[in-house]
Amino acid sequence: MTGIRVDAAVRVRDVVLDLDLPEGSCTAAIGPNGAGKSTFVGLLSGALRPDTGTVAIHGRTVAGPGGFVPPHKRGVALLEQRSLLFPHLDVLANAMFGLRSRGVPRHTARAEALAQLERVGCADLTHRRPNQLSGGQAQRVALARALAIKPDVVLLDEPMAAMDVAAAPEIRSLLRTHLAGRTSVLVTHDLLDVLTLASHVVVLERGRVVEQGRVADVLPRPRSQFLADFTGVNLLFGDLVDGGLRLADGTVVAGLAGDDATAGPGWASIPANAVGLHLADPHGSPRNAVDVVVRAVEPRGPVVRVVVDLAGQALAADLTTGAVAELGVEPGLRLVASIKATAVTLY
Amino acid sequence: MPRWTWLPFALGLTFLVVPLAGMLARVPWAELPALLVSHEAVEALGLSLLTCVVATAVSLVLGVPLALAMSRMTGRTAVVVRTLVTIPMVLPPVVAGLALLSTLGRRGLVGQHLSAWGIEIGFTTVAVVCAQVFVAMPFLVIALEGALRADSGDYGTVAANLGASPTRVLWRVTLPMSMPALVSGAALTFARALGEFGATLTFAGSLAGTTRTLPLLVYLTREQDTDLALALALVLVLVALVVVAVSARFNRPVST
């Protein structure tokens, strides 16, 4: 394994991580606030020392029992929410900073920094001061400054979170171009970032890795409530039986089993728009009909999301306002949920 | 703001401005050039300038690392250290002089050992600098520490990740970014050192050419040569004006 290997614990934050990121991949780190995403970034950048375990980048142990490599000797570039351009230096001097710090002669550093600024479309801003730049420009210069050092790893800590709606897509497409083939870690709260930038994903919850793998494998089959919410699907947990998932109260939700589905504990993912709610069993053959109790009702744009209790688990259904009014939906109401079996994925 | 506060405002400002105006009214403007080039005046001016420049330099060399360390401290340690640094600033200067005398003086705690080596500090120009550094350095430290603390080290972290060693971060990022506070703190330190009287008189005495700085000469001549005292006082007022201007110009954080 020549990518990134983290097997380390930071006790005061109750974070214990065990993960592998392949070389050249962009890994999105997602999870609720306080899940350990910043700790993960800190372990890679060198801002944090693990209490136990090791952190290795491209085969080189940067933290562990054998010693600790300080941030300035790691070759890990960091791009944060705030661009943090040095306010006392102009754009060119900012872009040159890393190269000069690494002992690159002035004229070489200047040429490389200019080339890098050119690549992010900021060649005409070289003599501006950071306070004369827009948020998007500043972040592009920060990207040029980070990439100029030819980092082994690029860490992106919500780089678009502070950006206005107009500037974010621009930065996103720049990142897409410049992160290709580079080992990078992207902390984000945005599904779009994961889908457009990342090849791999790590889901953190309460200081632990709950899921990790390729985006194409992990995202369609969430195995944590966080990831299900993140991708906007319902997630039910139970026992996989022939052609369905048996819940705690014995209810069986029929669905389509994936190739890797084996009998035993498993999940069913169900899009919210595949769930219908009725006062009585509608008797449609390809549908599951299960008894549920309404937990909560919340408007969501053109639809109303009704969250119901199904054998102790939450199930969301997106209904039209007309349907909600007709049913007289309110918390505590008993209903029958119909779920299209073809929309249920079992794994 | 209620309208009646204009009255105390006017009274307060008057009280601060009138004494200076009164003094300026009595300055012998015609003889000023002659008074300022008199042997006594030139000697005191030269000595004040020399000692204040040295004291400011020493304050920078010792104070900057002190402020850096303080800005990284938290909790009780930070409170204790900041209190210790602030004490010389608020201490009556004569007490500061006494403290220096009983420590660095001929029979002082440290001074007696220095004496044995043949080093005497008390009543020398070095003593003047010691007194000035003791009372003035805290101004620099407190001003700089505040600025360093506000910057919170995020820029240092970024610089380190770009490959800058801690020393390079200090010289290329931390200090340049706190330059306004550094300049304004140094200006205040210089001004405080220039005005030093009590600690200097107590620890260094008033020996013409060796320890008799401007304020000491003003005090000495205020009765028998009022004109000279007023001329020198004018110089001190002008320096104060320059310091206030410099301090106000630089005491703004760099916009980010």
Q: Does B83 touch chain A (CB under 8 A)?
A: no
Say how many domains are in chain B: 1
Rounded Cα distance between A142 and A137, Å, is 9
User: How far is Cα of residue B146 from the mean position of the Cα atoms in its chain?
Assistant: 17
Q: Does B182 touch chain A (CB under 8 A)?
A: no
Q: Please indicate, yes or no, if residue B23 is contained in any of the structural domains.
A: no
Cβ under 8 Å to B: A residues 124-143: 130-131
What SS3 state is found at A218?
helix
Q: Among the residues of chain A, which ranges form H helices?
A: 37-45, 91-101, 106-119, 135-148, 167-179, 191-197, 215-218, 225-231, 321-327
Q: Among the residues of B91-225, which ranges form H helices?
A: 93-104, 111-116, 125-151, 154-161, 166-169, 175-177, 179-195, 198-204, 214-221
Q: Please indicate, yes or no, if residue B71 is contained in any of the structural domains.
A: yes
Cβ proximity of A149 and B159 under 8 Å: no
Mean pLDDT of the B16-22 span: 94
Q: Please indicate, yes or no, if residue B2 is contained in any of the structural domains.
A: no
Indicate the average pLDDT of chain B. 91
Which chain B residue's Cα is nearest to A143? B162
Torsion angles phi and psi, residue A52, rounded to 5: -140, 165
Which CATH number fits the domain that encloses residue B50?
A: 1.10.3720.10
Across A275-314, b (16+ Cβ under 10 Å) vs e yields bbbeeeeeeeeebbebebebeebeeeeebbbbbbbbbebb
**pLDDT at B254 > cutoff 80:** no
Residues 6+ apart with CB under 8 A from A125: A91, A117, A133, A137, A141
* Structure tokens that stand for A91 in this block: 């754009």
**pLDDT at B212 > cutoff 90:** yes
Closest residue to A131, CB basis, from B160, B166, B255: B255
Rounded Cα distance between A149 and B137, Å, is 40
**pLDDT at B256 > cutoff 50:** no
What SS3 state is found at A102?
coil
* Structure tokens that stand for A49 in this block: 């020392």
**pLDDT at B255 > cutoff 80:** no
Q: Does A87 touch chain B (CB under 8 A)?
A: yes
Beta bridge partners of A15: A10
Q: Which residues of B touch A86 (CB under 8 A)?
A: 155, 159, 173, 176-177
pTM for this entry: 0.80
CATH number attached to the domain at A4-218: 3.40.50.300
Q: Is B11 exposed, middle or buried (0-12, 13-18, 19+ CB in 10 A)?
A: exposed
Q: Does A71 touch chain B (CB under 8 A)?
A: yes
Q: Please indicate, yes or no, if residue B19 is contained in any of the structural domains.
A: no
Give the containing element (helix H, strand E) for A214.
Answer: strand A208-214
Q: Please indicate, yes or no, if residue B21 is contained in any of the structural domains.
A: no
Domain boundaries, chain A: 4-218, 235-346
Rounded Cα distance between A141 and A54, Å, is 33
Rounded Cα distance between A179 and A185, Å, is 10
Rounded Cα distance between A1 and A3, Å, is 6
Distance (Å) from the alpha carbon of B142 to chain A's nearest alpha carbon: 22
Cβ proximity of B236 and B222 under 8 Å: no
Q: Does A82 touch chain B (CB under 8 A)?
A: yes
pLDDT digits 0-9 by tens, B214-224: 999 999 999 88
Per-residue confidence in pLDDT tens, chain A, 347 aa: 578 999 999 999 999 999 999 999 999 999 999 899 999 999 999 999 999 999 999 989 999 888 899 999 999 999 998 999 999 999 999 999 999 999 999 999 999 999 999 999 999 999 999 999 998 899 999 999 999 999 999 999 998 887 778 888 888 989 999 988 899 999 999 999 999 999 999 999 999 999 999 999 999 899 999 999 999 899 999 999 888 999 988 889 989 987 777 888 999 999 988 899 998 877 765 678 899 999 999 998 888 999 999 989 999 999 998 888 888 888 999 999 999 888 999 99
| pLDDT value of position B133 | 97
Inter-axis angle of helices B125-151 and B75-90, nearest 10: 140
Place of tokens 């304050």: B59
Place of tokens 């140094």: B186
B215: left (phi over 0), alpha (psi -120 to 50) or beta: alpha
What SS3 state is found at B103?
helix
Beta bridge partners of A143: none
Sign of torsion, CA A123 A128 A131 A132? negative
Given 3.40.50.300, 3.40.50.2300, 2.40.50.100, 3.40.50.11780, which CATH number is that of A235-346? 2.40.50.100
Contact B154 A84 (CB under 8 A): yes
Model ipTM over 0.85: no
Rounded Cα distance between A47 and A41, Å, is 8
**pLDDT at B106 > cutoff 60:** yes
Q: Which domain holds residue B95?
A: 31-250
